[in-house]
Amino acid sequence: MTTRGNRQRTIEHRQAIEAAILEAMAGLLQQRAFRDVSVEDVMSATGLSRTAFYRYFPDLEAVMLRLMDDTEGRLSIAAGKWILAEDPRALLVDVARELAEIYQSDGRIILAFADAAAGATDLEAAWREAIAGFIDVVAAKVSDLRAAGLSAVDDPVEISRALVWMTERYLLEVFGRQPGSVTTETAAKVLDTVWMRALFSS
């Protein structure tokens, strides 16, 4: 019983330290670019020693991957609502608004990840894999819409590729590079217009 209790406390302690590191990194990325953040900066924000960092993460890129896992998961949940909708036209603006809200809250983290990916093969591969996953599920949905006679697009895969990358670049620009330049409501309406015209206009 004591051994089990000690093991549980160890697990909880590790989780608490990892969470503190992730929170510190996220906070720093709200203020500066990824290239300007050091392990010392992160650990100073946690109040722990620099050497403690390496008990939990091999490098800052690994911290970025963990942060992006969380963001990607929330983006997937939001996008999944549109994928599973019986009438995706009716739900499109609501899903666009939810995506915009995620980018509004995590825009600087996503921007930092995108910037870091430009110089780190593992990060770039992870982000491109995530985008490719979104493209695949959107393309499958668009193919279903086309088969049902609800969309007349000629090439579901390429339309989906264009729409997903456009959405990613647009939201990254207005909430990552230029935070506060538009509201989430405006962004949602813009995306709703683009997707509706691309997929459902005759």
* Structure confidence by residue, pLDDT tens digits, 84-122: 998 899 999 999 999 999 999 998 888 888 888 877 778
Are 28 and 83 members of one domain?
no
Are 52 and 70 members of one domain?
no
User: What pLDDT, on a 0 to 100 scale, did the predictor assign at position 180?
Assistant: 87
Are 53 and 64 members of one domain?
no
User: What pLDDT, on a 0 to 100 scale, did the predictor assign at position 172?
Assistant: 94
Residue 33 has pLDDT above 80, yes or no: yes
User: What pLDDT, on a 0 to 100 scale, did the predictor assign at position 119?
Assistant: 73
Are 4 and 90 members of one domain?
no
- Give the list of residues 6+ apart from residue 8 with CB closer than 8 angstroms, or none: none
Are 45 and 98 members of one domain?
no
Counted domains in the chain: 2
Residue 1 has pLDDT above 60, yes or no: no
Rounded to whole angstroms, the Cα distance separating 98 from 74 reads 9
Are 190 and 98 members of one domain?
yes
pLDDT bin (cut points 50, 70, 90) of residue 26 is: very high
Task: Find the CATH number of the domain harbouring 32.
Answer: 1.10.10.60
What is the three-class DSSP state of 23? helix
Are 105 and 28 members of one domain?
no
Rounded to whole angstroms, the Cα distance separating 1 from 118 reads 49
Share of the chain above pLDDT 70, in %: 99
Residue 202 has pLDDT above 70, yes or no: no
pLDDT tens per residue across span 37-77: 999 999 999 999 999 999 999 999 999 999 988 889 999 99
Are 66 and 166 members of one domain?
yes
Rounded to whole angstroms, the Cα distance separating 119 from 112 reads 12
Are 50 and 31 members of one domain?
yes
Are 21 and 70 members of one domain?
no
Are 65 and 29 members of one domain?
no
Q: Find the domain containing 7 and state its range.
A: 1-57
